[in-house]
Structure 1
Amino acid sequence: QTFGAGKDVSFQDWRDYLQQMINLGVFEIAYDQNLALKTAELGNQILAGAQKLLLSKPTEKTFAKAPAERPKSKKAVAKEGLFEALRTLRKQIADSQSIAPHIIFNDATLTEMSDNRPYTKADFLEVSGVTQTKMEQYGQTFINEIVRVSVAQYQAGATVKGASPLTTYQLYKQGLTPKEIVAERAKAEGKALNPVTVEGHLISLYKKGYSVDLMRFTNATAVSDIQQVLHQDLGEDGFKGIHEQFGGKYSYFEIRIAKPKKPNTFCIRLFCLRA
């Protein structure tokens, strides 16, 4: 009956005490009087000093903190970035054709593109949901976007499958030689790249169908000369033996270019030789 008594007790604790007293029969809820609390028989006995009231002290409830969300890996961020870029491209094409985006490719197909990063038409056709018709309609446009985003992500420091050769290809299209490509990439990426690696990129890209003119780095005479000795048994010397046989006249890159795709046959553009 003292004014202000109990103000040191929190709202949550008071609610707990009241619930205990209702359960014990100290108070009862008058449902016919707007749910007012009325002193019950036990409450009257307590007020008269005939009974004592013992209540349990409320325990502080603790809630487990949600585990901190782990930061996404660079690979996951790169994948999401490519997916969003492909979604944006799909929306642009759909709007231009006045059709629903999923008619072009559904999200599952875009996800697989983001996972596998198909850089060639052959690889693009392996993606679920890509038919020959859709390949002809949209394939090259989507491949170009995958290449563009992948190279940009690689240059930004992400680990992107197959992006290093594509970065070489972008510089090759600017007319740079392998040595110039090495220098340019060293400036952009802050790391030295072996010229042999860049040369390997160009040969690999050519074999995959990219527009790479390997004859920029050699000539018909060199190909003919090298082709004449490629069929010889050079033992463990391999390309080194050919290089030495010509007294260093032809580079290892030229020798690799002249290596036939199939036994005894070599073609670059319309230029073919047979041993």
Structure 2
Amino acid sequence: MAFEKITESTSAYRHLEKMSVLELLQNINKEDAAVPAAVAKVVPQIEALIHAVVDKMLMGGRLFYIGAGTSGRLGILDASECPPTYGVPQGLVVGIIAGGYKAITEAVESAEDDTEQGWADLQQHKINSNDVVVGIAASGTTPYVISALEKCRENNIVTGSISCNPDAPISQAADFAIEVVVGPEFVTGSTRMKSGTAQKLVLNMISTSVMIQLGRVEDNKMVNMQLTNEKIVDRGVRMLMEKLGLQEYETAKELLLEKGSVKKAIESFRS
């Protein structure tokens, strides 16, 4: 029996070009509303992957996302936000995309069919058995990603996957498979829509939960965020004022800038 790609199934909507803008927006929003429910169904699978990632990171490992097209870009986005948000070093969470740096902003479509390059790209980072590699592919059939996960398995590297088709081939190459089945897209086959949204939600859950488990959040605050602009500095100052009961904004700001993070400023103030 041939593998059926629900992500490529015909849209439930016809003659989109005849819809008014309001109708388009209402129908797109109706489809988007189904995504969180689909994610909710696979929370246990997401939880299992997170535990595996945390365990490996506590042993000095890293988290890699690997994908092509939209999936690869979403992985890079999630990885790139970890250092400024949680103050972790560059390279703890890494996003890799088929086609390399150019593919972040331009389509390099043929790159996803290369069955050798995925593993080669991972080797550039000296991938090892302490790391976890998560393949992202809406269809669950991307050769670049699947072959990379298979090579990881051969080298005793823990693997995970995020796809949007049931019984996807990529799941067979993953120790921790996550399949968020969101159904046909509003525009047939445009998996940057519901499938992309589902992947983004799952990636948010993974990185956020991992960082909390690693102690990068206190209460509900990003106490390790990098002070990269005035907005973040202001946020940090207000955290300090609330946490330490400081009344003077400038006093809190001076302490924050001196110590470099909310967490270090709190520790210094209390020592």
Q: TM-score, normalised by structure 1?
A: 0.23
Q: Which of the pair has the greater relative contact order for Cα pairs under 8 Å at 6+ separation?
A: 2
Q: TM-score, normalised by structure 2?
A: 0.23
Whose radius of gyration is greater, 1 or 2?
Answer: 1
